[in-house]
Structure 1
Amino acid sequence: MSHPDADRFKSNADECRQMAHAAETEDAREAWLRLAAEWDKLAEHARNRRGIFDRYE
């Protein structure tokens, strides 16, 4: 994975947080925030994986 992947994942997380802000129920808000947290994890993973490969370039 690359930094563009990480950026895209972070963007998805931000969009989920916006959806959480607009959610009409607490359950929906919490679901969007859980999804945002998962996208944040993927973004962090993508950044970390790329860092490993940077050492060999």
Structure 2
Amino acid sequence: MVPNERVDFGIVHQGGRQRQYFEVINPGAAPVDIRQVETTCDCLEVALTNSRIDSGG
């Protein structure tokens, strides 16, 4: 579960950077592996700190 499905970064000028951190929670009984993250723009980069979310975490 991701608390917010959308984030508005506002105006970001060319060469500018914005950061946003998401906490993903797994309320289920089994671990979840994140295999793919998609963005709506090639100008976005996604970095995962952990691709496996243990159950209840």
**TM-score surpassing 0.5?**
no
* Structure with more relative contact order (C-alpha pairs < 8 Å, separation 6 or more): 1
Q: Which has the higher strand share?
A: 2
Q: Which has the higher helix share?
A: 1
Q: For the superposition of Structure 1 and Structure 2, which TM-score range results when normalised by the shorter chain? A: under 0.3
- Structure 1 length as normaliser, TM-score? 0.27
